[in-house]
Amino acid sequence: MTLYLNHFGLQREPFSIVPDPSFLYPSPQHRQAVAHLKYGLDREGGFILLTGEVGTGKTTLTRILLKSLPAHIRVAYVLNSKLESSDLLASICHELNIALSDQEGISHTKICTDAIYRDLLAAHADGKKTLIVVEEAQNLNYEVLESLRLLSNLETETHKLLHILLVGQPELLPILAKTDLRQLNQRVVARFHLQPLDKTEIANYINYRLHKAGVEQPIFNSDCVKVLYKLTDGIPRLINLVCHQSLLAAYSNSSYSVSGALLKSAATEILSDSNNRGSVGQKKWIANSLIFIFFALVCFAIYFFTKDNGNFLPIQIDLTDQESTEKSLSGDKSIPKNIEIEVNQNSDSIFSPERQLLQLWISEPLAWTTDRTYKESIDSYGLKMQSFESLNFEDLLRIDRPGIVNLVDYAGGYSVLLTKINGTELILTAEHGSRTIRYDEFIKSWDGSFKYLWKPPKGYDGLLKKGVSNRPLVDWLQSRLMLMDHEYEWVITGGHYTEAIRLRVVEFQERHQLLADGILGDQTTMMLNILTDPSIPSLRGR
């Protein structure tokens, strides 16, 4: 028992660095991470990615996931990421209790791979799924990653046989973004980057762990939060180390509470004071350098944009439409759901993400007029706009259409066009052209809003379900099913949505991880569109 437990009335140690799932603080970010991981397991197979800085709780989250898995999911847990390819395969066989036998003239790698494939087929026939978890995946070399990719190819005619969860530090992201590993990167079906705790979450984190350890009253004073955040940057493992040391210091002083001063003093014993001063000095130097560069750029910009033949001109600001300008900068969300958006169509020089989005759907140059709204413009091309205020990234991938996103930074909110997703990189188009942004940077800035265009088929009015008569739409549906399956036989229905066609739609929905309700709604129609019409713009390409 730790010395201070009885002193504070604790039943167990609250700030152990052991990854105990029962102590996981259920922040919104951690709940979202678990949801992403479970979503990946619900898919038909492929890679799942969990990344985050050292000490942010990746292993604890992984154990939470494994603890909640149903009995039909088998797990091979690989802790040593510095293995060679053949040793990794042998470890997977050991974890799954797969017997190996030496075969003369055949490499150990092939023996393991063949044995794993046979085992996966048998497990699949028995209704079981298989998950391989690899910790510290940033240490995996190219050959091992390629072996895992080849394992992920193991499949039947209709199903992938394996899920692979890679858990690693942020260095894993640029590794997977390399051209040589693009095939693996494209097989990632779900990913989440775990961030440190926000300053506002630290007090809840500390009190949650104390409550789990058996005490109700707070032990750390309110002034501890600011100090703790400055010392640890919100990394849970460092918070645990500092809090543990602070409780020991309070116990040795016969104190029943921890002040900010005591916490800071205790932290110096485990966080090197010299390193801390060096780190702070380095940060100050970097900050001062960035401030100098910023002001230099501002001065250059003022000179560049206001000079005329060497003479400075006064900067003129038009404040006649201040209200609409403020709404634009703040990402105003008061636009109604039916997207009655007015776009300035008089000038070709003014950037408009809505206009750029429509141009992706139209082969010829857009002919803009001043006498119709944006909705009337997209209606004239047979398009429809959908809008979401709060969307997660996996649903955005499922939609797979270019769209308008709202990003937030220190200056406020602004809209850009998301045009492509290449692995862990996203391409955004804004007023000054296109730029590439990393996935983790995008997630930090994106507010969850998404607006996109899609093209409904002729006769589409929202839903097509059993018993409904709609000949143009039923004919369109059957023609699309025939494009994907040359053995599909046209069903004579007289324009009615019959049970035979409904069952084919259910089969299609299950194959593509859609809600298998047998109803031809927006998502099913969009999936049919993008699989059968190469002219439709796609985020991930085809």
The pLDDT of residue 252 is above 60: yes
The pLDDT of residue 26: 77
* 3-class state of residue 49 by DSSP: strand
pLDDT in tens, 361-400: 887 766 655 456 778 888 888 898 888 887 888 888 888 8
- Above 90 in pLDDT, residue 402? yes
Which has the minimum average pLDDT: 21-30, 169-178, 407-416?
407-416
Could you write out the DSSP letters of every residue in 310-373?
TEE-------TTHHHHHHHHBT---S-TT-------S-TTS--HHHHHHHHH-SSPP---TTS-
Tokens (6 digits) for 183: 């095939």
Q: Is residue 512 predicted with pLDDT exceeding 70? A: yes
- pTM here is 0.52
**Residue 169: pLDDT band by 50, 70, 90 thresholds?**
very high
Question: Please, which pLDDT band fits residue 263 given cuts at 50, 70 and 90?
Answer: very high
Residue 337 pLDDT greater than 70, yes or no: no
Look at the block and give the residue holding tokens 């909705």. 375
For residues 478 and 491, the answer to whether their CB atoms sit within 8 Å is yes
Q: What pLDDT, on the 0 to 100 scale, is given for residue 316?
A: 33
- Cα-based angle 437, 438, 441 (whole degrees, multiple of 5): 90
Ramachandran angles phi, psi of 532, nearest 5°: -120, -5
> What are residue 414's phi and psi, to 5 degrees?
-150, 150
Show Cβ contacts of residue 28 under 8 Å, excluding neighbours closer than 6 positions.
none
DSSP characters over 245-261: HHHHHHHHTT-SSB-HH
- Both structure tokens of 357: 């989005």
Percent of residues, the chain, with pLDDT higher than 90: 20
Residue 317 pLDDT:
29
Tell me the range of 27-41, 173-187, 271-285, 340-354 where mean pLDDT is highest: 173-187
pLDDT in tens, 214-243: 887 889 998 899 999 999 999 999 999 999
Count helices and strands (H / E) in the chain: 21, 13
pLDDT above 60 (res 334): no
Residue 474 has pLDDT above 80, yes or no: yes
The confidence band for 403, taking pLDDT boundaries of 50, 70 and 90, is: very high
62-95 pLDDT, tens per residue? 888 888 888 889 999 998 888 888 899 999 999 9
Which residue from 199, 188, 174, 154 is spatially nearest to 50, judged by alpha carbons? 188
Of the listed ranges 329-343, 349-363, 376-390, the least confidently predicted one is: 329-343
424/157: higher pLDDT: 424
Q: What local confidence, expressed as pLDDT, does residue 344 receive?
A: 40
Instruction: Give the mean model confidence (pLDDT) for residues 292-321.
Output: 46
Percent over 70 (pLDDT), the chain? 82
Please report where in the chains the tokens 């990632």 appear, as a residue.
188
Q: Which of 90-104, 331-345, 386-400 has the lowest mean pLDDT?
A: 331-345
- Reported as a pLDDT band with limits 50, 70 and 90, residue 472 is confident
* pLDDT mean across residues, the chain: 79
Is residue 300 very low, low, confident or very high in pLDDT (cuts 50, 70, 90)? Answer: low
Sheet holding 403-409, edge to edge: 384-388, 450-454, 403-409, 412-422, 425-430, 433-438
What pLDDT is recorded for position 165?
94
pLDDT of the residue at 339: 35
